[in-house]
Amino acid sequence: MVEKIIAENLVITFDSKPILKNINLTIRAGEIFAIIGPAHSGKTTFLRAINRLIENTPGFVRTGSLLLDKRDVRQWDVDTLRRKVGLIFATPIPLPGTIFDNVAYGPRLKGIRNLRTLAEIVERSLRAAFLWDEVKDRLFSSALRLSGGQQQRLCIARTLAVDPEVVMMDEPCSGLDPISTAQIEQALRELKKDYTFILVTNNVKQAARISDRTAFFLGGELVELGPTTSIFTAPKDKRTDDYVSGRIG
Amino acid sequence: MISRPLITQRLTWLILALLTFFTLSILFFILGYITARGARVITPEFLFSLPERMGKEGGILPMIVATLYIAILALVVATPLGVGTAVYLSEYTRESFLTRIIRFGADALAGVPSIIFGLFGFILFVIRLRMGWSILAGSLTLAVMILPTIIRTSEEAIRAIPDQLREVSYSLGGTKSQTITRVVLPNALPGIVTGVILGLGRCVAETAAVIFTAGSSLRIPKSVLEPGRTMAVHFYILAREGLSMERAYGSAFLLILSILFINALAYILLFRFTRRLR
């Protein structure tokens, strides 16, 4: 079992207010790791600490260690780190431009210019995100004309196009209808064999449906972590029980 | 029985429509008046020949050349400076004393009357830097004059780009400069172009700032170090010296036509560019 991401005594404050309080956890390669918890429990900050997006906002201070492949994320070259650890946002955010340009954005940043190579990457990524069949005839029309669910799968394809090892998703289905959500969950199950997923979700049922292990965050603390089935059927902590059974939310 | 809210509604509509009509009618009166007096002066001969007897007769070819020359050179100088400053202000600095000083300076500069710029350009470029009355001195003066407009409109356009788009670029491994050149600037382009067009319009229409710096020579400027007379200056001199009101209106009409043409062209180009993004 390869340990992909390790947080040890991870503390993050924003303007001296604690956001994450002493988080210790390990995410294994090839699993779908769900993080559940109500709003303001630090789930998103945890993701943004891993790919160092928090560094763009003045006010965040991080202590403790946060390792990707046994090396602190701060020691990675930031652009390499972000290519290894992709992030899908809560609302689909296509870049203004064509479907093709969206998927080719990351590869182009790396300096890939050859159109044939780009086209191969675009097709492979769109197929992996289960979007290819719906858009193959209109790759050069605007990405903004896709439906919400299609846009989110486009964002997944765009992230896959830079060959990440870990894909983080920040409530990727929060704005989507059940059918689009099912399509995205289907894509996740298929992609699981090649990637490690961190899935932050408000939707407890979604975590139960697709994740291997689940962590419950509350007010910046890691309350409980374990195999998803035991979190949902036999939680050890009263607060976890209350949350997954819907008594608090 | 008509209800009171409905009466208020209709009355408001009527008042607003009248106000709009009033504003538009002033515009159309001015355009119509100048067109009526100036359009018949415009002939191929007027456009493509040299002026004679101080502009009383002949054409305005040198003024067309000088106007184009000065306006384009001013934009070439002011656009990179202005857009660069806007990028620096919005992407590379946090709100601080320095950025407030720069912004305040730009705003103050935008409110300075153009004749002050003319005087400044005369002292600095014409005299001190020994450029003499020249296309170069004129366009540098205009560049300084339109810089605040370009900075502020570009800055607004850049700030209007949602942060989420930048984060998408960063999270795909983009560096700051890649994010700016590939996401921020292309999407801010419509706003930036609007600022540049506003600047161009002011350059083409300016008299006070150029009369001091580019001179009012009637010859076609052959290099940037030669003086020239722009269409607006030509119009001013023709009218003030009472040389030929007919030809003055001709120049004015051409000036308005060219500004319309520039605006239309810019928006067409912009539309073709942004259609790809939509």
Quote the mean pLDDT of chain B: 90
Q: How far apart are CA B110 and CA B92, in angstroms?
A: 23
Interchain contact B182–A (C-beta under 8 A) = yes
Q: How far apart are CA B146 and CA B110, in angstroms?
A: 8
DSSP string across chain A: --EEEEEEEEEEEETTEEEEEEEEEEEETT-EEEEE--TTSSHHHHHHHHTTGGGGSTTEEEEEEEEETTEEGGGS-HHHHHHHEEEE-SS--PPSSBHHHHHHHHHHHTT---HHHHHHHHHHHHHHTT-HHHHTT-TTSBGGGS-HHHHHHHHHHHHHTT--SEEEEESTTTTS-HHHHHHHHHHHHHHTTT-EEEEEES-HHHHHHH-SEEEEEETTEEEEEEEHHHHHHS-SSHHHHHHHTTS--
Domains of chain B: which residue ranges? 4-41, 44-277
Do A93 and B94 count as a contact with CB atoms less than 8 A apart?
Answer: no
Say which residue, B58 or B220, is predicted with more confidence. Answer: B220
Among the partner residues B173, B183, B186, nearest to A82 by beta-carbon distance: B173
Among the partner residues B174, B186, B187, nearest to A109 by beta-carbon distance: B174
CB pairs under 8 A between A and B: 66
Among A214, A156, A62, smallest CA distance to B172 is for A156
Q: How confident is the model at residue B278 (pLDDT cuts 50, 70, 90)?
A: low
CA distances from B166 to A23, A240, B7, B162 (A): 28, 36, 49, 7
Across residues B269-276, what is the average pLDDT?
A: 75
Interchain contact A59–B (C-beta under 8 A) = no
Do A56 and B187 count as a contact with CB atoms less than 8 A apart?
Answer: no
pLDDT digits (tens, 9 = 90+) for B28-41: 999 999 999 988 88
Kindly tell me if the per-residue pLDDT of B276 is higher than 70.
no
Q: Identify the pLDDT of residue A133.
A: 92
Q: Identify the pLDDT of residue B246.
A: 87
Do A58 and B171 count as a contact with CB atoms less than 8 A apart?
Answer: no
Residues in chain A: 249
Q: Mutate which of A57, A95, A152 to disrupt the B interface (most B C-beta within 10 Å)?
A: A95
Assigned CATH for B44-277: 1.10.3720.10
Q: Mutate which of B92, B168, B270 to disrupt the A interface (most A C-beta within 10 Å)?
A: B168
- Which fold would CATH assign to domain A3-244? Rossmann fold (3.40.50)
Q: Identify the pLDDT of residue A52.
A: 95
Taking a C-beta distance cutoff of 8 angstroms, is the pair A136, A124 a contact?
A: no
Kindly tell me if the per-residue pLDDT of B253 is higher than 60.
yes
Q: Identify the pLDDT of residue A75.
A: 93
Chain A, 70-89: which have a CB under 8 Å from a chain B CB?
79-80, 82-83, 86-87, 89
What own/partner pairs with CB < 8 Å and gap ≥ 24 does B6-10 have?
none
Across residues B196-219, what is the average pLDDT?
A: 90
Interchain contact A57–B (C-beta under 8 A) = no
Q: How far apart are CA A29 and CA A46, in angstroms?
A: 18
Interchain contact A162–B (C-beta under 8 A) = yes
pLDDT digits (tens, 9 = 90+) for A113-137: 999 999 999 999 999 998 999 999 9
Q: Identify the pLDDT of residue B54.
A: 79
Kindly tell me if the per-residue pLDDT of B213 is higher than 80.
yes
Q: Identify the pLDDT of residue B230.
A: 92
pLDDT digits (tens, 9 = 90+) for B42-73: 888 888 888 888 777 788 899 999 999 999 99
Q: Identify the pLDDT of residue A12.
A: 94
Domains of chain A: which residue ranges? 3-244
Q: Identify the pLDDT of residue A249.
A: 56
Among A49, A43, A117, A51, smallest CA distance to A80 is for A51
Q: Mutate which of B93, B165, B172 to disrupt the A interface (most A C-beta within 10 Å)?
A: B172
Among the partner residues A53, A91, A98, nearest to B171 by beta-carbon distance: A53
Q: How confident is the model at residue B244 (pLDDT cuts 50, 70, 90)?
A: confident
Taking a C-beta distance cutoff of 8 angstroms, is the pair B143, B81 a contact?
A: yes
Residues of chain A scoring pLDDT < 70: 248-249
Q: Percentage of chain B with pLDDT > 90?
A: 61
Q: Mutate which of B93, B161, B170, B171 to disrupt the A interface (most A C-beta within 10 Å)?
A: B171
Across residues B93-116, what is the average pLDDT?
A: 89
Among the partner residues B94, B167, B173, nearest to A106 by beta-carbon distance: B173
